[in-house]
Structure 1
Amino acid sequence: MSGDIKLFEDGMKEKYEKLRKEIEKHNNLYYNEDNPIISDMEYDKLIRELRDLEESNPDLKVEYEIKNSKVGSGSEKSENENVSPTEKIGGIASEKFSKVRHRVPMLSLSNTYNISEIEDFDKRVKKIIDVKKKIDYVLELKLDGLSISLIYENGVLKQGITRGDGQIGEDVTENIMEIESIPKKLKEPISLEVRGEVILPISEFGRINQEREDEGEDVFANPRNAAAGTIRQLDKSIVKERKLDCYLYYLVNAEEYGMKTHKESIEYIEKLGFKTTKIFELYNDFGKLEKAIDVWKTKREKLDYETDGLVIKVNEFEHYDELGYTTKSPRWAIAYKFPAEQVKTKLYDVTFQVGRTGVVTPVAELEAVNLSGSVVKRASLHNFDEIRRKEIKIGDNVIIEKAAEIIPQVVNVVFEDRKGDEKDIEVPTNCPICDSELVKEEGQVALKCLNPQCPEKVKREIAYFVSRDAMNITGLGEKIVEKFIELGKIKTVVDIYSLKNYAEELENLEKMGKKSVENLINSIEESKKQGFSKVLYALGIPFVGKFNANLLTKNYNSIELLKEKSIEDLLEIKGIGDKVAVAIHTYLNDENNWAKIVALKEIGLQFEAEKAEEEKIEDNPIKGKSFLATGKLEKYKRNDIKDIILAKGGNYLSGVTKKLDYLIAGEKAGSKLSKAEELGVRVLTEEEFEKEFLEK
């Protein structure tokens, strides 16, 4: 036992225990709570440190694994439970969902931030495999989302399972069914298992975080956390609302389907109807592969989904068994991870923003610094709990990075730079705009200004109300709104409809003129034609986005009927969850909110679904036909055309297929136009679309 004595003498055992517990803590935060507090690079550094300790002191690992060996009883138990963190995937299956054992273990990939280690990987592969055999590598994107396994029987989707710890995952089938890009039925009646990544588009990430900030909820640190948190929701309507996407990249046991290479298997699953990134580049020259990695470091920034690296896989399946596996990852693949660009700067002040719903958000004012190609002077601090957790003070040197390459945020404090004169960030007690007392509502992390006439709240409420997806009023910019709030002409959204009485004053504002004012007033009047669903959405009721507004108005055709319903009544609507039901009931039964609705109704806004709408759909030529718009359009935005088609009972496709009836093509229509002509799909100009389908 002399080895044990040495371990205690030099403190190695204590160091090992402390490091292992630290890693387990971060595993839980990342995999199970979807709330990591360190970067991937910092986490990987901890894993490497633990691995180095285990390699130089093997008794440490043996003792740990013996001590943690347990015999399962009753429930599904993973073989990984007593394994060192260096040898297992860090997640566990949540108790919220049924646990499912993977038919084939769902492994993770070994990774590196160093090109030289990619070269070492190539050398190891060539050392094991006969060098006379052909070795191709496939380079593909490493998506930063939630790993998922999809099981199909006779071409029909039967089950969706998260990775969990690689042995046992969570059954999230109901939520997976809400993701549009996952086919519910394949193009062939085949049974198979395919794996990929559920992601949240970057464009959606920004929208969702803004909504969460407005509602006083914790924002997501990055799209990966948002995707993982969404898939684990018990309310599947939230999954639908957040517009998750899914890209597939691996066919389990592909050789059983006659495939000989990874690239061939990808082409096959694409034919079955699965969505892939279509980025699977083949290389047999390792020098060219390394150059491609450099290209993707910047090229990836143009994508609408988060990538945290690239994956290099041996292409030929015949080599996989020969190369083998560890308990955690295959030896025929490796991930090269892009280090997140981080910079150090000084936080010299904290200011406070007031959102549409009154939520007060702290913002870090920074010394200007270049980050990911742009100058950053401000960064989100999210909420005061976050400030407390990270121990941030005014005067600190801090590390910042961009979440999803777009949103600057403070990652951590450089504590060793502290001089002692840093100041605590004081939590405000009053609104920084209107000086009303701030409150913290039960179950919320954020402070709120409850004054309905707070100028900043009114300004943001109006911006939401006039947006394209809501009342679609163009020309009502922030400066005009600010000016009229200042002059007392606008106090709520109701006052927008009185602006026609101040046309002369509007014309005298900077950058306004007679024609601009005329267009604005016309747009305000035109907004009265928006349907009940859009008007309900425009009110900005918490948790009532476009999807939920549409569901509510389909079930109850007037605002009065909706107001009468209890929370229990609302919960009977398929797709409406607890949060939405409580929010709509609370909002409509608030005296001030109802007074606003009554005033808007008197002005002429539509708070009732059009009668005989079904008959209208029956009579129009769009019903039952499939459309797609492409290229630069003059009269419409693509989403406007999509809304028109869907409202009239038509279908709007995401790509050109044999099922497409009409392609509406603008300038620079590109490959979609070529494919449509090749398939014999009828191509229309905007004018032809209007004449044939809208003027009847």
Structure 2
Amino acid sequence: MDQGTVDRLEHLREQIRFHAHRYYVLDDPVIADGEYDALFRELLELEAAHPELVTPDSPSHRVGGPPLDAFAPAEHVSPMLSLDNIFSAGEFAAFKERVRRYLKTDEPLRFVTEPKLDGLAVDLVYRQGVLAVGSTRGDGLVGENITAQLKTVASIPLKLLAPDGAAIPEELVVRGEVFLPRQGFAQLNRQREREGEAPFANPRNAAAGSLRQLDPKITARRPLAFYVYGVGNPEVVAAPGQEALLAQLGRFGFPVNTLIRVCRDREEVEARYQHLMAIRHELEYEIDGMVVKVDDMGLQQRLGATARAPRWAVAWKFPAVQATTVIEAVEFQVGRTGAVTPVAHLRPVEVNGAVVRRATLHNRDEIERKDLRVHDTVLVQRAGDVIPEIVKVIVEQRNGREQPIVFPTACPECGDPLLAAAGEAVIRCGNRYCPAQNLQKLIHFAGKSGLDIEGLGKKNVEQLVNEGLIRTIPDFFRLDADRLARLDGWGEKSAENVLAAVAARKTLGLAQLIGALGIRHVGEVTAGLLARRFADLQQLMTADKEQLQHIEGIGEQTAESLCAYFEDQENREMIAQLADLGVVVLAEMTEETSRTSLDGRVFLFTGTLQTLSRDEAKQLVKAHGGQVATSISQRVTDVVVGDKAGSKKRKAEELGLAILSEEAFLVLISGESAG
């Protein structure tokens, strides 16, 4: 036998045991999920090729880690097995073929697909319909008894329902996933930071940490949720398949995920995987893949299980959203409000389908709390289009080459001294003429958070500033077609399109202008509050601090910032220049005049609208007392769909939300105006 293979197997087992302990027991992983999966896959492949080298204590024979000593042990009625992972359509096809060979059948197979939640698997034992014991997976045979903690999770029934007098099994063993929704996870981390505690690295660790609190009162304060996915004693339910089983569990009172689907062939399964991957960042909870199960319970029983996983199910994992890399350097960038932000330059690494090269480090406090240093090996994560962030340092990888991150004392752009206000972690350049600040203000004004002028993205604004065509906000409305057309990379058509887009923004709502000016502490929500309170821009400009603070949602800091901005003579002259250039600011419907039936309604727009721009449609909603959302959630009441509406429309249909065409939306708005 090749000694290299023997040594590699032993090394893999040691590594997997170590990382499994960090992940399952300590809730403190030091490598990304994708890297752990790769180690486990290599172990399984080597053991399959050399079965004579399989040892009784191999990680391939058990799932997870041992229970914590702090909790009493709870033995499972039947093993809580893990799932084998697959990562491609080809691997799913191979899984399906293995199932066929094992069953010795060519009959069509039905599969049930379920979102794979990134939470903590639990075992719930109900006796005479009442929750008796709740436990973690543990090592698959014995878990940790966390009954008191699980009873605090509102979505876990304490007593089963008996619809239509249906008989409830004397003992029912239910399996499901406890998790933290995205909003709850963000709230929990903000609370921990306020209390001086380190934030959780991801929702899975947060859910595990919440359930492993010895004091159930602490668990009760965590916004945990639960979805059921199966049972440990299916014979007592007597459901013909997985779909029917989940339907019965739903009738017993368990929450069942609404995205579960039956697929009748391989193509449907593959299409469902692509759909879930496309909408994963729109969901209110984290998922890291899709579980595929043979639907027929009789076939499940015939297929059975290996030592660690059922033969009738697999987890089709999404590309990793976390990865490890190295901080190669740190630079300091100046924002539109003068804030100086440290940005890490990373050794390029692929995360969630994109190559990550940079990550914001936020401020000095963040760097000190995470103990970040140049040349550190770090865990980075990326979700959707969110800016990548550094989750933690892999301290075990330090080798002495690491260097502290030194903050500058002077602005890296203009050289002025940097200032730190009392109580703020951010340092700022106080030079209002700092070229970096001015550039960022101009980029913001033309960008999506400002007027959203098509054709004037970040790179084009930078070019116009460098060419001297734009120095101040009014200069956008002074652009000349001939000069634009002569710029490198432009042309007559590009120049005409940009000037047309600028002209279309000469008439805008008050809220949009306020947001576009880039006033410190004033974002989209605050701009909307101000626009609904003041009849026009002039009233806002003359409002004093006391008037501003009377508006619910406007605090002292924001009021002071607004007063300072509008008292500044240069800012007042800039606004006067906009008026001279033909910019018309439309008054919003104020609190006094807004009494329409759009109050309490939340609109989401998806697809391409034909008669309105997206911003104009949003302004109409806000002007008539409604609210606008950017993603599907339970609070959305109306979804307006244009051409080529995609996943958001499908999700709205699944949730049963009201769906309006653009024409119906305009009729609704005109009806409100007429009323």
**TM-score normalised per structure 2:** 0.58
Q: Which residue, out of 525, 534, 543, partners 2:550?
A: 525
Residue 325 of structure 1 and its aligned partner are, at CA, apart by 0.6
Correspondence for 1:463: none
Residue 250 of structure 1 and its aligned partner are, at CA, apart by 0.9
Residue 379 of structure 1 and its aligned partner are, at CA, apart by 3.5
CA distance in 2, matches of 1:413, 1:149: 33
Correspondence for 1:109: 83
Residue 277 of structure 1 and its aligned partner are, at CA, apart by 1.5
CA distance in 2, matches of 1:49, 1:57: 12
Cα pair 1:255 1:317 within 8 Å, conserved: no
Whether 1:314 aligns to 2:294 is yes
Q: Which residue, out of 38, 43, 49, partners 2:42?
A: 49
The DSSP-based 3-state class of the residue aligned with 1:321 is helix
Q: Which residue, out of 326, 339, 349, partners 2:330?
A: 349
Cα pair 1:365 1:379 within 8 Å, conserved: no
Q: Deviations over 1:284-325 (max 9, x none)?
A: 221222222223221222112111111110000011221111
Cα pair 1:138 1:314 within 8 Å, conserved: yes
Cα pair 2:6 2:53 within 8 Å, conserved: yes
Shift in CA distance, 385/127, structure 1 to aligned 2, threshold 3 Å: same
Residue 518 of structure 1 and its aligned partner are, at CA, apart by 4.2
CA distance in 1, matches of 2:341, 2:216: 29
Residue 137 of structure 1 and its aligned partner are, at CA, apart by 0.7
CA distance in 2, matches of 1:61, 1:304: 42
Residue 424 of structure 1 and its aligned partner are, at CA, apart by 3.4
Shift in CA distance, 28/432, structure 1 to aligned 2, threshold 3 Å: farther
Correspondence for 2:304: 324
CA distance in 1, matches of 2:179, 2:385: 15
Q: Deviations over 1:323-359 (max 9, x none)?
A: 1111111101111111225787974316699xxxxxx
Cα pair 1:309 1:338 within 8 Å, conserved: yes
Q: Which residue, out of 221, 228, 236, partners 1:241?
A: 221
Whether 1:16 aligns to 2:2 is no
Counterpart residue identity of residue 168, structure 2: I
Counterpart residue identity of residue 330, structure 1: P
Unmatched 5+ stretches in structure 1: 1-5, 66-82, 354-359, 434-450, 460-474, 484-506, 531-628, 640-653, 656-662, 676-696
Correspondence for 1:591: none
Cα pair 2:119 2:204 within 8 Å, conserved: yes
Counterpart residue identity of residue 44, structure 1: D
Q: Deviations over 1:148-179 (max 9, x none)?
A: 11222333322221111110111112221222
Q: Deviations over 1:28-71 (max 9, x none)?
A: 01101111111222112212222333344444334xx3xxxxxx
Whether 1:198 aligns to 2:193 is no
The DSSP-based 3-state class of the residue aligned with 1:123 is helix
Cα pair 2:34 2:322 within 8 Å, conserved: no
CA distance in 1, matches of 2:277, 2:542: 47
CA distance in 2, matches of 1:150, 1:197: 11
Shift in CA distance, 302/207, structure 1 to aligned 2, threshold 3 Å: same
Shift in CA distance, 458/56, structure 1 to aligned 2, threshold 3 Å: closer
Residue 106 of structure 1 and its aligned partner are, at CA, apart by 0.8
Whether 1:148 aligns to 2:117 is no
The DSSP-based 3-state class of the residue aligned with 2:289 is strand
Cα pair 2:374 2:405 within 8 Å, conserved: no
**TM-score normalised per structure 1:** 0.56
Shift in CA distance, 304/86, structure 1 to aligned 2, threshold 3 Å: same
CA distance in 1, matches of 2:150, 2:76: 17
Correspondence for 1:625: none
1:539-558 equivalences under 5 Å are none
CA distance in 2, matches of 1:186, 1:519: 59
Shift in CA distance, 424/517, structure 1 to aligned 2, threshold 3 Å: farther
Q: Which residue, out of 2, 5, 18, partners 1:25?
A: 18
Unmatched 5+ stretches in structure 2: 335-339, 412-419, 429-513, 523-533, 556-599, 604-620, 641-651, 659-675
1:134-145 equivalences under 5 Å are 134-145=108-119
CA distance in 2, matches of 1:104, 1:370: 39
Counterpart residue identity of residue 89, structure 2: I
Residue 411 of structure 1 and its aligned partner are, at CA, apart by 7.4
Correspondence for 2:562: none
CA distance in 2, matches of 1:425, 1:664: 48
Counterpart residue identity of residue 229, structure 2: Y
Residue 667 of structure 1 and its aligned partner are, at CA, apart by 8.9
The DSSP-based 3-state class of the residue aligned with 2:149 is helix
What is the aligned length?
Answer: 461
Whether 1:89 aligns to 2:63 is yes
Shift in CA distance, 105/47, structure 1 to aligned 2, threshold 3 Å: same
Q: Deviations over 1:431-484 (max 9, x none)?
A: 999xxxxxxxxxxxxxxxxx993344899xxxxxxxxxxxxxxx999976679x
Correspondence for 1:129: 103
Whether 1:364 aligns to 2:344 is yes
Cα pair 2:175 2:228 within 8 Å, conserved: yes
Whether 1:40 aligns to 2:33 is yes
Q: Which residue, out of 118, 126, 132, partners 2:92?
A: 118
Cα pair 2:161 2:252 within 8 Å, conserved: yes
Residue 193 of structure 1 and its aligned partner are, at CA, apart by 2.0
Q: Which residue, out of 382, 387, 390, partners 1:402?
A: 382
CA distance in 2, matches of 1:294, 1:524: 49
Counterpart residue identity of residue 72, structure 2: S
CA distance in 2, matches of 1:16, 1:425: 36
Q: Deviations over 1:618-667 (max 9, x none)?
A: xxxxxxxxxxx76559658799xxxxxxxxxxxxxx99xxxxxxx99889
Cα pair 1:24 1:90 within 8 Å, conserved: no
CA distance in 1, matches of 2:554, 2:280: 42
Cα pair 1:310 1:337 within 8 Å, conserved: yes
The DSSP-based 3-state class of the residue aligned with 2:54 is helix
Residue 430 of structure 1 and its aligned partner are, at CA, apart by 12
Q: Which residue, out of 54, 61, 67, partners 2:54?
A: 61
Cα pair 2:33 2:322 within 8 Å, conserved: no
Counterpart residue identity of residue 60, structure 2: T
Correspondence for 2:279: 299
The DSSP-based 3-state class of the residue aligned with 1:295 is helix
Cα pair 1:150 1:194 within 8 Å, conserved: yes
Shift in CA distance, 269/214, structure 1 to aligned 2, threshold 3 Å: same
Whether 1:172 aligns to 2:146 is yes
CA distance in 2, matches of 1:478, 1:456: 24
Residue 251 of structure 1 and its aligned partner are, at CA, apart by 2.9
Counterpart residue identity of residue 378, structure 1: A
Cα pair 1:352 1:432 within 8 Å, conserved: no
CA distance in 1, matches of 2:314, 2:329: 42
Counterpart residue identity of residue 514, structure 1: Q
